[in-house]
Structure 1
Amino acid sequence: MSRMVSAAVSLSLLAASVAAATPAFAGKADDTLVATFAAQLPSLDRFYAPGREGFLLGLLIYDTLIYRDTQTFELKSLLATDWKWIDEKTLELHLRKGVTFHNGDPFTAKDVAYTFNFAADPKNKVFDRITSAWIERVEVIDDYTVRLHASKVTPLALQYIVQVPMMPADHREKIGLQAFSEQPVGTGPYKVAGKKGSDIVFERFDSYFDGGPKTKPEIKTLVYRTVPDVNTQVAELARGGVDWAWYIPADQAERLAAIPTVTVVNAPTFRIGFLTMDAAGLATPDGPLTDTRVRQAINHAIDRQAIAKTLIGGSAEPIRSACNPIQFGCEQDVKDYAYEPQRAKQLLAEAGFADGFDIDIYGFRSRPVAEAIVGYLGAVGIRANLVWQQYSAVVQQRRDRKAALVIDDFGSSGIADAGAPTKFYFNGAPDDQSRDAEVDAWLEEAGSTNDADSRKQAFSAAFKRIADQAYWTPLFTMPINYVMSAELEGPVPKDENVEFWKYHWK
């Protein structure tokens, strides 16, 4: 094991001694599931709650028109009972009748039109406008029929619809966005009951409709507890202070698995880890990352295999392309950067940085992983200062052109298509730091046709150039550890979209 990874493991082992803890899971007694997350939700309005935690918020409070099964990935009817393509750019959907929002307002086509129009409007600055921006206009046929008119052929249209939460048009406009962000209203299986300190408390929506793939929750109360420090999460899991957590590092998950009152499950995801680099000079116009040789040096400097096996664990594997290998169109025949520190030093010297350079590197997910990466960079002369922030803050820094180097990861919202990560990180998107016209042209072609062969060819060309120019440093796939009370039972998803309404006490 390399010294960088060994140091990171040592730091992670500073957690409280879980073996001596006395488990006392209390959730079952008062029918309250306490789930802990590292990320704090900046808003309870799904359009302004980024990251996978925001996605889970959307599943709890809100519903979408179409549901994607977390095990089979089959698309099923939810708020839309059925849909059909009138032509390549027109989708007609019939809506479920008898559905009400948490405040009693009926769900109708008016709410659908309002939701998509709001999300697509650039002035509203929603976190992920991609899922609605493809819609040119929404046509209301009657109270329970809508047509979505696309601006162009959109292969991922149905997958985007899966992600857009339906909002109550009249209520949201009446109370205003600020009030709605604190006390939102949706049609989902849980409703917001309030806050207790920093905890967000959700209660079962007893009027949740029957007949869909989502169901009325078995557990009455769900608490979202923000615990940024993973060592504290581990200690709380061990003593029974919380009932559920995820993204627990491999070494600590192994220790927790020895406790009989805790269940640990490692599961695959679509998530990949990588570094984004300011190749276009958006943050630092004349910075070192604008030199291809420097970006290639960074790719050679990091031992992805060691980090994947030691710190991520499970089925984690190194990747070479800017996508997950299981996604459609994820080209694997691209330039591969082996772990070669000497080659990294040589490239830095050729670029004029024989003595290295100083740079801030931003991170948010796993400190042991981030510290290992900082160590690898330091070994070749890149003196990286780790700036540790919440996910939403890191992304905002990058979008504000203040973060040139970011340790990032992306779960593609569970979409098994290479169009998911590329649409978010290239194509002139807010998080695109390459701004490469050639890459954008290939990705535009892949995203504008339903022909599978044409899409594969376009993706292939795009990914080859991304790798040649080292716009990213692809790292590894990211299976995750779910840890929960042994008294708790619920399905572990294949796409990270945890469905707490399906959980129950044994």
Structure 2
Amino acid sequence: MLAMQIKKTAFAAIVAVLALSAGLVATAPAQAADLRIGLAADVSSLDPHYLNIAPNIALASHLFDTLVAVSPDGQLIPGLASSWRAVDATTWEFKLRSGVKFHDGSDVTAEDVLFSLDRPAKLVNSPGPFTSYTRQIVGKRAVDRATIRLQTAAPYGPLPLDLSSIFIVSKKAAQQASSEDFNSGKALVGSGPFKFVRFQRGDRIELARNERYWGDRPAWDKVTFRIISSSAPRLAALLAGDVDAIESVPTADIARLKNNPKVHLEQKVSWRTIFWLLDQSARISPFVTDKSGKPLSKNPLQDIRVRQAISKAINREAMASRTMEGLALPASNIVAPGIFGHNPELKVEKYDPEGAKKLLAQAGYPDGFALTLHGPNNRYINDDLIVQTMAQFLNRIGIQAKVETLPLSVYFGKARNGEFSASLLGWGSLAGDFALRTLLGTPNPETGWGSWNWGKYSNRTVDGLVQEALASVDDARREAAAKKAAAIALGDYALVPLHHQYATWAMRKGLRYTARTDEFTFAHQFQPQ
């Protein structure tokens, strides 16, 4: 029944806890100015330029600032740059805030900004580089200590959005530092609202308020992030009073929590799309075999008919309503509705298992084949159940599907190295052309394109349209090109979209949180009532 029995088993302990929750939620929090948050995904690195994944970015946002910030609703707002402007079609100018200090008391200067923009390209062993956000810049200079000018090789309207992803570090602290120096705290000198105290890998991160912070003063003297990747223990920790707030609330328990007077929920439609990336490279794919376990001489996932069959095998409505407990919207696009570049003309693929079988037969696989599905088990809402549900769908059309899910810290590295044939990924972006460039652009280390293109999809027409979109300073023309590129790529089944997920936070009574479209959990946006 689409993983319902699995879900019931997985959360059986929570049902019992919820039944008693009125008495278990702590009525007295930790010290009034302390905040304890349960995180759903591990933070693998504190180096803000090393691995471009959401858990690391969210944590880095407490310690560092970017030139351009993003509001809870996904709008660009001033960060370290108080203003910016296009001087001409290929030159952007950013004015830095005056008086901003790093945690060590030194001034944030234009020199630090230029160093930070250069640093991602120097981290040659990054498993998820930030270079796609800086490769467009071909020239940079400090006009004075508070003004920088950046030059692009061609007109490039989205540069401010790119720079919302590049954290500014202290050149003095980071110039000779390794990523491990950041993890130890030695090089962790930022200008963000909190300062580093302790990083206990896989367990917790402790921060203290930055009394020199230039922005709104955080309400909390101390913040402790606890890594609790399993849903049941994370919710149990909230109900027992061991943490004050949690992210990624188990979908099966949201209805009950809404009726709990000692718990408050905040929810928002997320920018994140969950999808499958299928290995389209010309090789013997590592986890595709015949049903006896013998590797196939040709990779069937290269055939568009096979990829389309896999898409038709998915009952997205059932997955959204049952596996996701109604907290998902079936997807037809790479970016969520309301996001720049979303193409409303693309419709959700209809569930058609018989049509899927016919496509497999046409592709030369009338009896199917065997395929192992890989995904994380501690990153996205119900990610383990999503993979298991997908296996059930594929088994119904003759693809003998196995499941292997891994902790995020292991999964991303293996997926990036091309060790899987079918990989689950979630991606959030504020622009469709940005997502296409990173996820489906022809991989090119020189330009940073395709840095997360695990399936090795390549279509020069798509690349050209994305380039046209990114080069346009006219929003209407830019969005039209992005929509056209998305239509072609999705028509190729370059990836197989599943759904857009909802984001939910739960917290003890007396707390409020400004829910974010980007799903990030920021301690400085929690406020006591």
- Normalising by structure 2, we get a TM-score of 0.88
CA contact (8 A) 2:249 2:506 kept: yes
User: Which stretch of the first structure deviates more once superposed, 305-314 or 343-352?
Assistant: 305-314
Match of residue 433 from structure 2: 419
The correspondence of residues 105-504 of structure 1 with structure 2, limited to 5 A, is 105-121=106-122, 123=124, 125=126, 127-183=129-185, 184-195=188-199, 198-209=203-214, 214-281=215-282, 284=285, 286-313=298-325, 316-334=328-346, 336-364=348-376, 365=380, 366-412=383-429, 415=430, 417-428=431-442, 429-432=450-453, 433=455, 434-504=457-527
Shift in Å, 1:255 = 2.7
User: Which stretch of the first structure deviates more once superposed, 54-63 or 461-470?
Assistant: 461-470
Match of residue 20 from structure 1: 20
Shift in Å, 1:85 = 1.3
Shift in Å, 1:44 = 0.7
Task: Look up the equivalent residue of 2:219 and give its one-letter code.
Answer: E
CA contact (8 A) 2:44 2:56 kept: no
After superposition, the Cα gap between the structure-2 partners of 1:401 and 1:173, relative to the gap in structure 1 and judged at 3 Å, is same
Shift in Å, 1:447 = 1.6
CA contact (8 A) 1:90 1:150 kept: yes
CA contact (8 A) 1:488 1:504 kept: yes
Q: Secondary structure at the match of 1:346?
A: helix
CA offsets 1:441-493 (integer angstroms, 9 cap, x no match): 22222222123343333223322222222121111111122111113222222
CA contact (8 A) 1:249 1:311 kept: no
Shift in Å, 1:62 = 0.5
Q: Distance in 2 between matches of 1:46 and 1:405?
A: 29
Q: Distance in 2 between matches of 1:231 and 1:106?
A: 44
Pick the aligned partner of 1:9 from 7, 10, 32.
7
After superposition, the Cα gap between the structure-2 partners of 1:478 and 1:42, relative to the gap in structure 1 and judged at 3 Å, is same
Match of residue 44 from structure 1: 46
CA contact (8 A) 2:109 2:145 kept: yes
User: Which stretch of the first structure deviates more once superposed, 488-497 or 470-479?
Assistant: 488-497
Q: Distance in 1 between matches of 2:105 and 2:488?
A: 52
CA offsets 1:167-221 (integer angstroms, 9 cap, x no match): 1001112444321232111100011111357211011111112xxxx42211111
Q: Distance in 2 between matches of 1:346 and 1:74?
A: 45
After superposition, the Cα gap between the structure-2 partners of 1:83 and 1:455, relative to the gap in structure 1 and judged at 3 Å, is closer
Q: Secondary structure at the match of 2:330?
A: coil
The correspondence of residues 26-65 of structure 1 with structure 2, limited to 5 A, is 27-29=29-31, 31-65=33-67
Q: Distance in 2 between matches of 1:448 and 1:455?
A: 8
Shift in Å, 1:350 = 2.1
After superposition, the Cα gap between the structure-2 partners of 1:82 and 1:296, relative to the gap in structure 1 and judged at 3 Å, is same
CA contact (8 A) 2:432 2:483 kept: no
Task: Look up the equivalent residue of 2:464 and give its one-letter code.
Answer: A
Task: Look up the equivalent residue of 1:379 and give its one-letter code.
Answer: R
Task: Look up the equivalent residue of 1:233 and give its one-letter code.
Answer: R
Match of residue 294 from structure 2: none
Match of residue 292 from structure 2: none
Q: Distance in 2 between matches of 1:254 and 1:478?
A: 17
Shift in Å, 1:121 = 4.4
- Normalising by structure 1, we get a TM-score of 0.92
Task: Look up the equivalent residue of 1:340 and give its one-letter code.
Answer: D
Root-mean-square deviation over aligned CA pairs:
2.2
User: Which stretch of the first structure deviates more once superposed, 239-248 or 453-462?
Assistant: 453-462
Task: Look up the equivalent residue of 1:370 and give its one-letter code.
Answer: V
CA offsets 1:209-262 (integer angstroms, 9 cap, x no match): 2xxxx4221111111111121111122122122222222232122233333221
Shift in Å, 1:26 = 5.0
Q: Distance in 1 between matches of 2:11 and 2:353?
A: 27
Q: Secondary structure at the match of 2:129?
A: coil
CA contact (8 A) 1:335 1:467 kept: no
After superposition, the Cα gap between the structure-2 partners of 1:114 and 1:362, relative to the gap in structure 1 and judged at 3 Å, is same
Q: Distance in 2 between matches of 1:227 and 1:69?
A: 27
Q: Secondary structure at the match of 1:447?
A: helix
Shift in Å, 1:30 = 5.3
Aligned residues: 496
User: Which stretch of the first structure deviates more once superposed, 474-483 or 378-387?
Assistant: 378-387
CA contact (8 A) 1:25 1:241 kept: no
Query: Are 1:79 and 2:72 matched, yes or no?
Result: no
